[in-house]
Structure formats: structure tokens, C-alpha cells
Amino acid sequence: MQPGESSHSHDLIGPADPETPLVLSVPHAGRDYPPSLCAALGVPLAALRPLEDRHVDAVALAARVAETLVIARRARAWIDLNRGEDERDPSIEEAGIAQRLPHRSPRVRSGLGLVPRRAVGSGPIWRRRWLATEIEARIEQDHRPYHRTIATLLARARQRFGVAVLIDLHSMPPLLPAGSAPQLVIGDRFGRSAAPRLVSRIEDAARSTGLRVALNAPYAGGHLLDRHAAPTSGIHAVQIELDRMLYLDHRLDQPGPGLDRTTAALRAMLDAVLDEVMPQRLAAE
């Protein structure tokens, strides 16, 4: 796929051979709801909106300069790119799938597996079970291409610069208590997905913009970090969760007046990462 082209799975923004060690990923901002999904809904389509990282792709697009950016097109309700292929929910698939799965993760048990069965405030979202072949087609057409692209970009960045850093961008509903809860959560799988000093640089940059920051609580990162991070081999991965109130309007629906400030904050974090890895070629830790 060439720069600027689209696949069913995702858009690639920027060079296919990264010009910096940073690769940006936005896996949950997709707003493409296929007709077969809509036909299977037992709730209004609007009930799926809380599953989206609503318009966080606008923050990423505004903040990137030379970085290569990968943005999911498909809605998270169709398939969750931040879940493993084995995190399939037998309660929404045809009978027999449970016997073919190795385990049911806590995320599957909570209803937020590879294909979610619920959304905040709506309860069950499907009025029929999915066939195993339908889920497997989504894995082949949407899930695997996204991860192949991420893996290829990281490998090319590491080859060119000696180090690669995946920044996996998400957004979260406002945490409580209002006014004192974190506005940004950095996830590094409790120290397993990135060098500590790299995470510290991101945290310091975020705090310098006035944001309240937490590390790994309540979001430590998911499948993208588990799958692509290899710090001892020079590939680091960090998840960043932004409070939606920072950049959306009061309805948490469309980009709002805080978009520019949030974009500047993300840019400061990206610049901090570049400052850390470019001169010293971040050593594996």
C-alpha cells in the first residue's frame, strides 16, 4: 500500500518508510459501520458511539509532522484491533466456538472482546449470534492487515534509526472525581513495553502542559503493546489515553475548542520521545 492510500482496514498517513523512529497508531477511532453490522443491531446505532475513541484521530492528524500514522477505518464494534485474535466471545458466536478457544480473558468476560457484545449504557448490542466464518473474515480482512502494517513500519523504523517507538493513541471517558482525576493515562504494560526513561519523558512533557497524568491506572495498554513491543530488541510501545473532554465539545461528540491545546500537548510528548531516542539511540533496557 502506498502513502495516502486506504485499505478496508485502515488509512496510512505519511511515508511507508518512516522518516522518524515514531509510528503512530489510532485503532479505535473508526467510524465505518458496515451494513451487515447495522442489520444485526438490537440497539440504535448511536448506542455504539461510546465504543469509539471519538475523533481522537483528529488530534493525531493535527499533531503529526513527519511521523507515519495508521488510523483504523472500521468501527470498534465491528472488530477491536486492540484485542488478540483469540479473544472471541462465545456468547455472541455460533455454538461450539468456546471449545476452540484457548481461554476467555477478563476483557472477553466483561463484554469487550474481539467483537464487543455490549456498550456503555446499552447492555447487549446484537440481536443474533455471529457465524464463526463472519468473525474469521473480519480477522483476515481488517485485523491482520492493520497489525501487518504496524509491524512493517516498526521494523523499517528500527532498521533505519536503530530504534522504533509505537505511540498507540486512545481516548477515554472522563474519570472521577471531576477536577482531580487524571486527564491523561500513559500505559506501558507496567514497565514491560517500553524503557522507563522513555515513559518518564512522555510523562514529564504531558505534565509540563498542565495535564493531570497517571501511569497504567486504569489503562495499562492492550494487545497492540503486547504484540508489537520488544524493548530488548529496540522496539518500544506506549499507549496514551486522552480524556475526551480535552478535545471534544460539551456533548463529547465533535471536536471542540480544546482541540488545539490537546494537539499541542500531544506534540510536546512526541517531541520529547524524539529528543530522547534520536541523539542517544535509546539503549535496550
pLDDT for residue 122: 85
CA 224 to each of CA 65, 150, 166, 174, 211: distance values in angstroms, whole numbers, following the listed order: 23, 9, 9, 23, 25
Burial grade of 267 (CB within 10 A; 0-12, 13-18, 19 or more): middle
102-133 per-residue burial string, b: 16 or more CB within 10 A, e: under 16: eebbebbeebbbbbbbbbeebeebbeeebeee
Q: What is each CA distance from 247 to 76, 187, 238, 256, 264, in whole angstroms?
A: 20, 20, 20, 5, 11
Query: What pLDDT is stored for residue 99 in this prediction?
Result: 59
CA 142-146-150 angle, to 5 degrees, is: 175
The strand ranges marked E within the chain are 10-13, 22-26, 68-72, 118-119, 123-124, 164-172, 184-187, 213-215, 235-243
C-alpha cell at 179: 477536577
Beta strands in 156-221 (DSSP E): 164-172, 184-187, 213-215
| Closest C-alpha among 220, 236, 228, 238 to residue 281 | 236
User: Taking the CB of residue 252, how many other CB atoms lie within 10 A of it?
Assistant: 18
Partnered with residue 184 across adjacent β-strands are 213, 242
Q: How high is the pLDDT of residue 271? A: 97
Query: Tell me, what's the pLDDT at 2?
Result: 47
Query: What separation in angstroms does the CA of 54 have from each of 165, 188, 252?
Result: 24, 22, 8
- Structural contact between residues 178 and 250, judged by C-beta atoms closer than 8 angstroms: no
C-alpha cell recorded at residue 15: 511515508
Residue with grid cell 486504569, as numbered in its chain: 218
Considering the segment(s) 10-81+143-280 as one domain, its CATH architecture is 3-Layer(aba) Sandwich (3.40)
Q: CA-CA distance, 68 to 118, in Å (whole number)?
A: 32
Q: What is the pLDDT along the chain (285 residues), one digit of tens a residue?
A: 444 545 578 999 999 999 999 999 999 999 999 999 999 999 999 999 999 999 999 999 999 999 999 999 999 999 999 999 999 999 999 876 655 666 678 999 999 999 999 998 888 999 999 999 999 999 999 999 999 999 999 999 999 999 999 999 999 999 999 999 999 999 999 999 999 999 999 999 999 999 999 999 999 999 999 999 999 999 999 999 999 999 999 999 999 999 999 999 999 999 999 999 986 544 444
CA distance 20 to 157: 7
SS3 content of the chain, % helix, strand, coil (to 5): 40, 20, 45
